[in-house]
Amino acid sequence: MLDRNLANPLSPNLSPVLAERLREVELRTALRTLGLISLGLYSQYWLLLNVSGFRSPSSALACMLITRSLLAHPYLHVNIFQHIGLPMFSPDKKPRRIHMMSLGVLNLPRLPVLDWAFGHSLISCHVEHHLFPRLSDNMCLKVKPVVSRFLHEKQLPYNEDSYLARFRLFLQRYEEFMVQTPPITELVGLQ
């Protein structure tokens, strides 16, 4: 099944990646994915025209393009901050899922703007999101103390860092993390 983040219409820059992935899945899955993407785009368009009060189809489409363009870069930016520089695992010996999640992701502190734009599960509850990807933002916040306590009891890392510290790390080691790093699929495989 396709990762739901790849099928997210908020990420128009990933269209070539999605097209490549669609060739690798069975026709039924590819059609379902394209159908859900189309439904999401049409729903937003319909809401803009019928609920938000846009008068013309071109103004609704322009609003969709502008909001998606404005949110795509911060989404990628924050997502990179929550994965770079953390202990990576060998492509030959993958650790159990709980170890991958505790070593491969981190939580950033809650920031109202980021919480509003992306939700808690992608910012302050990112570890919980990776462990339980189907949990709502609200539930991620509720299980966060339990997950933190469990990982500490099992002597596994529970990674948290500030946005500013991640930004510094990103700038200091940009070449290493963004240029010289092999594709993520070589490190973790396609999920």
Q: What is the pTM of this model?
A: 0.55
2: confidence class by pLDDT, cuts 50, 70, 90: very low
Q: State residue 183's pLDDT score.
A: 65
Report CA dihedral (2, 8, 11, 15) to the nearest 10 degrees: 50
Instruction: Spell out the domain ranges in the chain.
Output: 12-70, 82-188
CA distance 8 to 2: 11
DSSP one-letter code for 158: -
Tokens for 42, please give them: 């049409």
Of residues 1 and 76, more confidence is placed in: 76
Average pLDDT, integer, range 52-68: 89
DSSP one-letter code for 53: -
Segment among 4-18, 24-38, 164-178 with least mean pLDDT = 4-18
Q: State residue 25's pLDDT score.
A: 76
Query: CB under 8 Å to 178, separation ≥6 — which residues?
Result: 80, 84
Q: What is the pLDDT of residues 128-176, one digit of tens each?
A: 888 888 888 888 889 999 999 999 998 888 989 988 898 888 888 888 8
Q: State residue 1's pLDDT score.
A: 38
Q: State residue 148's pLDDT score.
A: 93
Give me the helix-helix angle, 27-50 and 57-81, nearest 10°. 120
Is residue 97 over pLDDT 80? no
Quote the percentage of the chain above a pLDDT of 90. Answer: 15
Q: What is the pLDDT of residues 182-191, one digit of tens each?
A: 665 565 554 4
Query: CB under 8 Å to 187, separation ≥6 — which residues?
Result: 88, 89, 91
